[in-house]
Structure 1
């Protein structure tokens, strides 16, 4: 099973599911209410054992998987954050189960909120989806409390479900980066080409500068009249480099190959594409004025925030 990080809330510990939890999970699902909206009847020990084995055998993207909810060392529920088997693309789906003995105490909400923080903050997910049976009023209300929006319905997991989605908040995210450059035209040729290739669009233009925007974030290059030096030195205090997500390793290779025609030169070429480590696929480039960019391939199976 893919290892997941241990998460903590005010009252709960969320840790990875383990084979030693089999008895506790079977006991949890002995309550028929927990299977009410499922395709399988998990009060049946055989079906429950199959469900546990599927979860223990999970091998999805790092940081995703299945968690046990512990209250004072005792298991009171299960939760998951994993790629959806029902939605297209690489949608990541959340789900939760909580012992009815603790109904109304907010534990499911607390656990789901922790998984959302993990998904958005640690994994950089652009969205988290929840498929909720249309008769599951308690879970629909929980999703609304956490900010999920109902975007439609359909037949999922063999029954009518509402399709809901949560998006990351803007709070604390990068607003913009401003780079002061000695030659605006040259900076526009290099940065403009690269950012446009990555899906950014021109946002603002004035006599001393230009910016490009992707989503809520924008990058500015400006030749300010207050500029105090003729060149950028990345080894001095200040900006060392700008790192940008790229959709795939193949796209990193394409950009690295074309960069020389647009004012960029390779760095650490003898270690390409793993100059940042064996598990890090990236191109490091610099332009004529000493600015460095790092183009980082997105791990397969996850799409971080752009």
Structure 2
């Protein structure tokens, strides 16, 4: 489990199926990532659980620490066909514009570059998703290539360990006392 000032991130599991379907049911939310039936969501969540078991990381539910409400998802996903680890984020529309994506993603990046020892993390963003591209820029990502993931076009952004900066401005991305 990862915690930030306002958020708690916990591994997703198949028990999150109904919530996952609701999150992706909003047309504005799913316009870049797609909607899910309950069967599709359960299958996707099983893959996420398997990735946690095999790789020690995966996607997380993002909850408000103050209420426990699940407001989105953020985490790492290994793409075998690209031979790279991606960070992704999706939040319920009611929680857009509050800095939650940046806060959650920064904590996941610190985890990926720190304890997991990753050297580079990518983010695959639909070319029309200006809000996610802005989050990626705030985090220090730069565009790497155009590609396709799950049948959708994307711009693959990349961030190297040496370019990661923490919320407090530490150029290594880790607390100064580490």
TM-score between both structures, scaled by the size of structure 1: 0.49
C-alpha deviation, 1:155, in angstroms: 2.8
Structure having the higher helix fraction is 2
Indicate if the aligned counterparts of 1:41 and 1:47 stay in contact, CA closer than 8 A.
Answer: no
Q: Name the counterpart of 1:136.
A: 129
Indicate yes or no: 2:119 matched with 1:119: no
Q: Name the counterpart of 2:45.
A: 52
Indicate if the aligned counterparts of 2:87 and 2:122 stay in contact, CA closer than 8 A.
Answer: yes
Cα RMSD of the aligned pairs, angstroms, is: 2.0
Given candidates 101, 107, 127, the residue that maps to 1:108 is 101
Partner Cα separation in structure 2 for residue 109 and residue 100 of structure 1: 15
Rg (Cα) greater in structure: 1
Q: Name the counterpart of 2:12.
A: 17
Q: Can you give the 5+ residue segments of structure 2 that lack an aligned partner in the other structure?
A: 164-170, 174-178
Indicate if the aligned counterparts of 1:29 and 1:48 stay in contact, CA closer than 8 A.
Answer: no
Given candidates 83, 89, 95, the residue that maps to 1:96 is 89
Q: Deviations over 1:226-252 (max 9, x none)?
A: xxxxxxxxxxxxxxxxxxxxxxxxxxx
Partner Cα separation in structure 2 for residue 82 and residue 23 of structure 1: 21
Of the two structures, which has the highest relative contact order with CA contacts closer than 8 Å and spacing of 6 or more? 2
Q: Name the counterpart of 1:190.
A: none
TM-score between both structures, scaled by the size of structure 2: 0.82
Q: 1:123 to 1:137 in 2, by over 3 A?
A: same
Q: Can you give the 5+ residue segments of structure 1 that lack an aligned partner in the other structure?
A: 1-5, 174-306
Q: 1:111 to 1:21 in 2, by over 3 A?
A: same
Q: 1:53 to 1:151 in 2, by over 3 A?
A: same
C-alpha deviation, 1:51, in angstroms: 2.3
